[in-house]
Every structure is written in C-alpha cells, then in structure tokens.
A = this chain, B = another copy of it.
Amino acid sequence: MTIKDVARVAGVSVASVSRALNGNDNVTNATRQRIVSVAAHLRYMPNSAARSLITRRTHAIGVVLPDLHGEFFSELIRGMDCAARARGLHLLVSSAHGSQRETIEVLRALCGRVDGLLVMSPDTDASFLAEHLPLSLPTVLMNMRSDHRFPSLSIDNYGGARTMTRHLFDCGYRRIAFVAGPALNFDADERLRGYRDALTSFGPGMPALVMPGDFSEDSGYRAVSRLQTGKRMPDAIFAANDMMAFGCLSALGERGFRVPDDIGLAGFDDVPIARFIAPPLTTMRVRIADLGEAALERLAAQLEAPAQPELAQAPVSCELVVRTSCRQRLRLASVAAGSLVDAK
C-alpha cells in the first residue's frame, strides 16, 4: 500500500517509483510502464500527508463563508469548485456563523491544512483577520472592505446600484427612495453609495430618501410603513436586496398601492423567486459563480507566482434585469447606460 511495496514488487527503488509516477524526472520508458502497471494493480494511492510534509503544498484551499443559506452559497461554491478542479485544487469549506470568536477558531483550524484562503465575511473588518492569520498564508477576500494586506474581489455593488438608480430615473421616476442594508455591511454600504452618487450625477436636486433596513424581508415591510408616515410617498422604491423588495411589495399591497402603476419597485441580487412574484421584480443580477471562480483564480495565481501585483481586482459586474415592477422606461436612448438582460 505504500511506495515501498510498489518499489519492491516492481523491483526498483522508491525513488524510481516516485519519479515514474510523478512523471517528473527521466525514467526509462520500460521501467515507467512496469511501475505504473504495478501501482495500478496494487491500487496504490500516494499518501498525501507525507507528500504535503515534504513538498509543503497541500493543494487545498480553505473557504470561509458566513452562514450558509440560500442559493447564493451553492453558486459561490460551484464557481470555486469548477476553478479549483481545473487546477487540481481541493476546497475545504467552513462556515463562520457571524461571531468573531468562531471565525478565529475556523481560521486557526484551517491555517495549517491549506495553501491559501478565500474569505468572505462582509460584516467584519479585514484588519482583524491579519492578526489571526500567518501573513505568509495567501488570502483573497471576497466582498469585504479592501485592505492593503490582502487582495480583494467584489461584486460591483456600487456600479450595480448606480445603474439601477439610473434606470429608475430613465423610467421617469423622480422621487426614488432607497431601503438600505445593515450598517457596516460592505455590500450594503457600496449599494448605498451607488444610489447616492447616481442621484448626484443624474438627478441633481432629487432628494435622497434613505430608509434603514437589514436585508430581511421584514425590514422592507417596515420601511414602507415608515415612508408612509412622511409627508409625501416616493414614486419608486429601490431596495438594497430582493428580500427587502418582497417585504416592500407586501406592505405596498396591503396599503392599496399598485406596483408599478402607483409606485415603482426594484431590488438587487435576482434571487430565483424574483421572477415568480407578482409583478416580477426588476433587479440586478449578480453572477455569484463568477465571483467564486474569479476569487479562486486570483488565489491560484498568487500561489504560483507569489508576487502580488494589484491588490484590488476589477469587480464582478452585475446585469440589470428589467421585469415589470417598474414602469417602462421613457427614453430608449438611455438603454446604453447599463447592460441589459431580457426578463425570462
């Protein structure tokens, strides 16, 4: 079962077996074939611990994610898995349920067994990672505040929110409310920033109506209540994610507002449900699998060539998905503003 057994049966030294099986060095073709066939016959599998010990490579990538719910993470892991397999890497997946203590624990446990780390923890600052990680361990951050220590990849939350706000503007809405995500959450912050900037750029004088929210359906519901207590309702609501948009929709329905006739509604993420609700939700589609793939590729590149060129990577772009929860856009000339995908 070990390399020695193969060597003995094949009548060669362990070094030759190692060379033959790794295809690295020069071994006579005859010898190689004999060794390969003996190994196959014996069902020999190299012990990866021994190999890692000497080569200092595990060919494993640690993946640290926040709580694993919904389709989002399937997609992320799928993207990573594809890219990983293509490079002969393996994924060591762990979730950190929010708490910092647990995150540290996960990080420590992963530390010794992986060649690199892919970390997503949108509620956490990156600097605290640096303290609990050997700096020698290549790490790529996903959807986290960029940091001078680690390369970072993100969804283009900013650009997406900007595009969506522009789209609402182009549809003729002039009083666009924004339901924000949780404070200190990177994705949420970026989306809010995109909304604000778009307002400044495209609709000078338009008021910024920002309602607090926390990405939950319920908080979307409450945002509408709060909006209604104001003196004047907006003519469109842009929720920082789809779940909150669903909450808004319920609340609007209960209060007798028709979407999109009385008020426009848009979300962010394009969760699968978005196209099934009535009316189907206009939203930003996020290519999660692409993010996972890109992050893994960035990490793999760093593993092969430890030079660290640019820390901030180009964000993974979103696509505007126009459905019927907003009015038709008025001026078709503005289609060029964002990439457009037909609603299925």
Contacts and interface: CB of A to CB of B under 8 A. Distances in A.
Interface of A: 43, 45-50, 52-53, 58, 60, 67-75, 77-78, 81, 85, 88, 90-95, 106, 108-113, 134, 246, 272-273, 276-278
Contacts of A75: 68-69
A91 B90 contact: no
Contacts of A276: 246, 273, 276-277
A49 B58 contact: yes
Contacts of A46: 112
A93 B93 contact: yes
Given A46-B112, A70-B74, A93 B91 contact: yes
Contact of A93 (B45, B50, B81): B81
Count of this chain's copies in the oligomeric assembly: 2
A52 to B, nearest CB: 4
Contacts of A58: 49
14 contacts: A47-B53, A47-B112, A49-B50, A50-B53, A67-B78, A70-B272, A71-B74, A73-B77, A77-B77, A78-B95, A81-B94, A93-B93, A246-B276, A273-B276
Contacts of A95: 78, 81
Contact of A134 (B45, B48, B91, B246): B45
Contacts of A94: 81, 85, 90-91
A304 B45 CA distance: 23
A92 B60 contact: yes
B90 A109 contact: yes
A288 to B, nearest CB: 11
A113 B272 CA distance: 36
Q: Which 4 A-B pairs have CB atoms at the shortest separation, nearest pair first?
A: A49-B52, A68-B78, A49-B53, A48-B112
B49 A134 contact: no
Contacts of A91: 92-94
Contact of A74 (B43, B49, B68, B109): B68
Contacts of A67: 78
Nearest to A46: B112
A110 B81 CA distance: 14
A58 B112 CA distance: 12
